Amino acid sequence: MNQQINVLTPTPSKIPELLKKRSNWICWKKSGAKPNGRYGKLPANIKGTVINAHDVNHHVDLETAYQSYDSNKFQLAGIAIDLPTNPGIYGYTDDGEPLYLIGGDIDECITIKDSKLVISEQAKSDLKALCQPYWEISPSGTGIRWFGLHTRPLKGGNKNGREMYSSGRFLTVTGKSKGGQITTLPSNIEALEQEWFRSTKSADINGDLLAHLQRESYQEPELINDGEGRNIGILKHAGHLRAQGLSQDEIEEACLAFNHKKLNPPLEEWQVLDIARRYAEEKSTPYIVEPIDAAHTTKKEFELNLNSGLIKLVASSPKRPFIAGIDVIPLGTYSALAGWGGVGKTNLIISLATQASIGGSFADRVCKETCVLMLACEDSEAEINARFCAAIENLPKEKQEQALRNTRVFSLVGQDVHMVKMVGRNAEPTGKSIVLINAVNELKQQTGVDRCLVIIDHARMIASVDWNDSAQATVFTREMQHIASETGAGLVVLTHTNKASMKADHNSNQGDVSGSTAIVDNARWVALVRTMGDADAKSLGIEVEARQNYVSLEIIKTNYCAMGRVGWFLKRTVEHHSVSVLEPVELAKPTLSKPGDNALEKRLIEYLKSHSGLTINKIKGFAGTKGVFKASEKAVISAIQELIDKDMVKLEIPSDEQRKELGLPKNTAGVLIVSEGV
């Protein structure tokens, strides 16, 4: 027989400071009974009404939540903190990497024996594996709740009496602990996540992405058991229904039926509705554009609290992470890479992707290991495969394997992959972005690499809009920012430049990007790929005929770093793959030593310019301290040889006519002539 166990009263003083200062607290109330004195939990506001836990309109600070619970224990069972669908940042590492809150449960691991609390051996082992994080007794008194920080959100799950989450949940908090603060979890936390919650069978990301971009290929699962992705099952089902054109009410009703029919055990009704409504308001609600700490995507009532608007003086601020160095494609936001058709945009981004995937370098900029997901809407599978093979062929074998392991490329030629379409006169999201979001997050888990570069080639293939209409282009950029914010990836969209940018004497600027200014205005980083112009070719000593093989990458808009040229790249043909690659190249203006750099050289050049037909032997005659050059014979001969080596002076054999004109003997080996331009 199950013994009824009372709900433990929270102890706010023992709650860690990291949680105390947050303002995403709510209350909760008991739901249906579970075995061993446990019970279901429903999120509630401070008035006791059941709510969507992720609705920020109901979030309060800890003191308000506790006072409401304490004065209304008849309705409320305790307090809880929300983990929104878009994880919030709880701090930063010394290197500037964001830290996310991870919460976990160990169920039914506590018993009372001889008035003493006894923890199961399995729970002790789990806490040891987690390096003894902050933990407390759960409200039922039978389990353990633990908290920790990690540099990336974790999907976690619910399996074999363990739970782990960083988003999409509310977590009850009791403060029934020995005290202490929340610390960083061990480096092997992702391995533990894989061991505890994941199937050993690796997912086919390629097949999953392709299948769900084609709505007619969706198939209902037979049954989804606890720990096998019940949430994602609901989410995919809702996305399928939305793509079929069902109304929001119809989608919610169908998801509730799906929950009871296909999920074992079913989710709570509020959880199903929260998932079903997750992308329902994309049509009318603008996304929050690029906040570094984007903890919530739910729209909150507009208000201005002067106390919350105070500037906080800090010694240093978090570093903005980039794919390469400190200025090439920022993470967590939407960027654009523009260039004329055929200039080499795709080749250049593949060059970057290859180096990022192995933690290499790009244009003298260090890359941290990054997983890569590319949607190639213009290249066939064979073409895009050849491009990547050519890019990695000169890498060591182990680096080639690393690049292949961390990279996924999808040829979507001929498929309807529009993420934004026109509905009547309005541009509206199609809901397909969720497929890309899921694939990116799954790729991170498969590779164990938290950083991701998402490449979309080309913008016009994934959005059917009037690109010159700022309102329509803005819907597209919001959708791109939404994907970047949900995944934390550096998302770069390839697009075109206008004809004006192709003029030889043109200076690159933001107006070069084709279409509405919204494409640039709403991006946080924009760069251009351009063929070398005549002026640069002349300045850098490149033959005019060869300049077409050189392209530059130049940042023309950025919120986080300096603008200007990133570097030059040289096009190289890879015949056995029938493609070309772009490789970074060091270019510098050719320099000649000027006559004034060396006093003796200057005197020699000036003398040779005013005296024709001088031979090396004749020059020797002017050596000595009393001679024209005020230097020894050895110094004069050495300086002449140096000028010849630097092509500033030439030793030419005179013609018969010149010999006669200058009175030179027939055995004259050559005369000294100053080179043109010196």
pLDDT in tens, 504-558: 667 788 888 988 888 999 999 999 999 988 888 888 888 888 888 999 999 999 9
pLDDT for position 595: 53
All domains in the chain, ordered by first residue: 12-197 (no CATH), 205-280 (no CATH), 329-585 (3.40.50.300), 595-674 (1.10.10)
What is the DSSP secondary structure assignment for residue 60, as one 8-state letter?
B
pLDDT for position 312: 77
DSSP SS3 for 438: helix
Residues 6+ apart with CB under 8 A from 31: 39, 40, 41, 42, 268
Q: What is the dihedral of CA 332, 491, 157, 91, to 10 degrees?
A: -10
Distance between alpha carbon 502 and the CA centroid of its chain, in Å? 30
Q: What b/e sequence results for 236-263 when a residue is b if at least 16 CB atoms lie within 10 Å of its CB, and e otherwise?
A: bbbbbbbbeeeeeeebbebbbebbeebb
DSSP SS3 for 25: strand
Q: What b/e sequence results for 277-311 when a residue is b if at least 16 CB atoms lie within 10 Å of its CB, and e otherwise?
A: bbbbebeeeebbbbeeebbbbbeeeeeeeeeeeee
Q: Which residue(s) pair with 99 in the sheet? A: 91
pLDDT for position 91: 85
Tokens encoding 127: 């806490």
Q: What is the dihedral of CA 658, 660, 665, 669, to 10 degrees?
A: 10
d(CA 322, CA 361): 12
pLDDT for position 254: 85
Which portions of the chain are predicted below pLDDT 50?
Answer: 1-5, 200-208, 210-216, 281-300, 596
pLDDT for position 115: 82
pLDDT for position 4: 46
d(CA 103, CA 15): 14
Q: Where are the alpha helices (DSSP H) in 407-432?
A: none
Residues 6+ apart with CB under 8 A from 520: 336, 510, 513, 526, 557
Residues 6+ apart with CB under 8 A from 284: none
pLDDT for position 355: 96
d(CA 640, CA 643): 5
pLDDT in tens, 183-212: 999 988 988 888 888 654 444 444 445 444
